[in-house]
Amino acid sequence: MARLSIEHLRKVYGEFTAVDDCSIDIAEGEFLVLLGPSGCGKTTTLRMVAGFIQPTAGKITIGERDVTNLPPWKRNCGLVFQSYALFPHMTVAENVAFGLEMRKIAPADRAPRVTEALRLVRLTGLDERYPRQLSGGQQQRVALARALAMEPDVLLLDEPLSNLDAKLRQEVRVEIRDLQRKLGLTTIMVTHDQEEALTMADRLVVMEKGKVRQIGTQRELYEKPADRFVAGFIGRSAFLEGEAASGRFRSGGGLDITCKAATSGPATLALRPERLAIGAEAESCANRFPARVEHVSYLGALLDIDVRLTEQDRILLQVPNRQGAAEPKPGDMITIGWAEDAGLVYPREP
């Protein structure tokens, strides 16, 4: 295992910049997740690390080795493909042994390593099956075993769970994470599934339109989103548009809000739905406004409430579904409130 460093990586296709000045450092044994909407450049980045796409500019280093100009077969990155890409004409054992064979390891020495790799992914005894005889989850594990058997410097996972059903996805998620920890694998995973990213990663990289928007832990991304995009992408946020000036924010609908604004001028205020209080609990808040309930979604443990503050200002709040508490109904007038530091202010993006 080795550390991986990506410096000022760029990929341009004609007029289109797929990845723009992307720099990421991944520590030895770290699980890093590239997260972003489709077309954000995360897969392109992963494929550049694997060597399938030649970067326009930038540098990729694995351990001490500059691999930027090496072909895929000289990089020693274990890649698990979204479609698994198992060799259909080879048995499970032959699939797993392929990487070892390519490394000129004697057949006698391959067998124990194949057995070990299959044991790790809990597929012992399926050596002689063909991929078509396996379920989707089993195929996924063979792909993982095949990548692990060759003892790669880094493990790359390209949406590895997207072809599994929801229940299996949960299981495999935990399995991959445990295995990654146990073996101390430096890992990059690409996904567009937030929950997957949040539960598996040590650190996350949020990408959009080819750019890295923010790198950080789950907590950092959620508590201190670097910009409006991240605030909306990681978890949910309600946004109010308006003007910021010296610790105040005036919304488009005329609300005067106390906040910790660092900027002034046209701005967006982001509020996390669960950081808002209603009724009596709102009394002690720095910001208190009357609001009309527009819609209530019953989610069991929680209630999602859409409220309107003014013609232009709408907010989503999430409150615990407490026993005995009166459930607001559409049309009710309620008081909502939030603390001074609950609102995050971002300069309005052009």
Partner 1 sequence: MSVARPSLGRLALNGAATLSLGFILMPLFFVVWLAFFRQEIPSFPPEGYSLKWFQAAANNKPFVDGFILSLQVGVLATLIGLVLGVPASLALMRHRIALGPAINTLLLLPLVMPGIVLGTSLYVFQIETEIATGLPVLGSLGGLVAAHSLVVIPWVVKLVTASLAGFDRTIEEAAQNLGAGPWTTFRRVTLPSIRPGLVAGSLFGFVTSFGNLEMSLFLVGPGRTTLPIAILQYLEWKIDPTVAAASVIQIVLIGAAMIVTDRYVKLSRVV
CB of residue 72 to partner 1, shortest distance in Å: 4
CB of residue 76 to partner 1, shortest distance in Å: 8
150 touching partner 1, by CB under 8 A = yes
Find where tokens 């949910």 sit.
236
130 touching partner 1, by CB under 8 A = no
Q: Quick one: which H or E segment has residue 344?
A: strand 344-347
Tell me whether residue 117 or residue 267 sits nearer to partner 1 (CB atom). 117
Residue 313, CA atoms < 13 Å, CB-side half-sphere: 23
Tell me whether residue 70 or residue 334 sits nearer to partner 1 (CB atom). 70
Contacting range for partner 1; rule: CB under 8 A; set: 34-42, 69-77, 294-302, 315-323: 69-77
Residue among 8, 13, 37, 52 that touches partner 1 (CB under 8 A): 52
For Cα atoms 143, 147, 152, give the angle at the middle one, nearest 5 degrees.
170
CB of residue 82 to partner 1, shortest distance in Å: 8
Say how far apart CA 153 and CA 48 lie, in whole Å: 15
Residue among 13, 54, 103, 322 that touches partner 1 (CB under 8 A): 103
Say how far apart CA 347 and CA 329 lie, in whole Å: 35
Tell me whether residue 86 or residue 276 sits nearer to partner 1 (CB atom). 86
Q: Which of 236, 260, 190 is nearest to 45 (CA)?
A: 190
- The secondary structure of 185-232 as a DSSP string is --EEEEES-HHHHHHH-SEEEEEETTEEEEEE-HHHHHHS-SSHHHHH
99 touching partner 1, by CB under 8 A = yes
CB of residue 33 to partner 1, shortest distance in Å: 20
Binding site for partner 1 (CB under 8 A): 50-52, 71-79, 81, 83, 85-89, 98-99, 102-103, 146-147, 150
